[in-house]
Structure 1
Amino acid sequence: MSKKIPIAEGLFTWPSDNPALLGSRCQECGIAEFPRKLSCPACGSENVVSEELPRRGKLWTWTIQGFMPKKPYLSDETPETFRPFGVGYVELPGAVCVESRLLENTAEDLKIGMEMELVVGTYRHDEEGNEIVGFAFKAAN
């Protein structure tokens, strides 16, 4: 029986009906990071705590990737089924800018400053048929 497995442990809450990215925040200087870090890159303090990041933010910048990702970011796509996709930075309020795949994939659908929301879903399947679950952002309704 196949399972749903996160693409990497500790990136987002899983399993969850309302998944959130997991970051860290320095208790000395307040800097937030994604993914979680054991120490603060700004001040070097090891006094950091894990926190769930906001699920919504604004598209800070974007591009369209017109080539298939390489390892370890391979998907189930083949050269025949590959479609270009959006990649962007989403600014999460009070936290960080997160680099992410975007579900929208045309210049007409992507605008700097548009509201985005986190989605978690199947990214690919592994050799045993398990669903590998990853995160992306899509235009918010």
Structure 2
Amino acid sequence: MQRAIAPEISTWPDEDPQLLASSCDHCGATVFPVQPQCPRCSREAMTQIALPRTGTLITWTTQGFLPGAPYLGDETTDTFEPFGVGLVQLGDVIRVESRLTENDPAVLQFGIDVELTMIPLGHDENSDEVVTFAFRPIDPERS
């Protein structure tokens, strides 16, 4: 069985999941993840919205060390493989920090198009697979 690490932040297990954010009905600010109060104007006039599935990779780096607790990945210091982390511009709506499916500098270029996907992260105490969101480069051949 699979479960999302944070089920409230996306529409997963939809076939084409989207991240969920809040948009302020008063000042127009958009925040991710969903929040009950606007961080810009402090009003409680937030509406939940689904974010675009595709975006542009603004910047990225490679995480070359095993994250500390409460990281739920199955890796150990011996099995850990570095992974990409990036800032993704989703339309003209918001920038989201995310894990990337790639860590290869030949693939990860500033300004490439990326799309949302869900990837395995590890297993919980019930041996269920835990998934999280990530962005993957869009293959220009598929576009």
Shorter-chain TM-score range: over 0.9
Say which of 44, 51, 54 aligns to 1:53: 51
- 1:101 CA drift (Å): 0.7
What is the percent sequence identity of the aligned residues? 46
Aligned partner of 2:86 among 85, 88, 103: 88
Aligned counterpart, 1:42: 40
The one-character-per-residue Cα deviations of 1:20-58 (angstroms, maximum 9, x if unpaired) are: 101000011111110011111111111110011000000
Deviation at 1:135, TM superposition (A): 0.5
Q: Secondary structure at the match of 1:10?
A: helix
Q: How does 1:1-141 map to 2 (within 5 A)?
A: 3-141=1-139
Q: Counterparts of 1:51 and 1:139 in 2: how far apart (Å)? A: 24
Q: What's the Cα RMSD here? A: 1.1
User: Contact conserved, 1:33 with 1:95, CA < 8 A, in 2?
Assistant: no
Please list the CA deviations of residues 108-132 of structure 1 after superposition, one character each: whole Å capped at 9, or x if unmatched: 2111111010001321111211011
Structure 1 residues 83-123: Cα deviation after superposition (integer angstroms, max 9, x where no partner) = 11111100101321111111110222111111010001321
> Hey, which bits of structure 1, 4+ residues long, moved more than 4 A?
none
Structure 2 stretches of 5 or more lacking a match?
none
Q: TM-score, normalised by structure 1?
A: 0.93
Unaligned stretches of 5+ residues in structure 1: none
CA contact 1:23–1:53 (8 Å) conserved in 2: yes
Residue 133 (structure 1) shift: 1.5
Kept after mapping to 1: 8 A contact 2:72/2:124: no
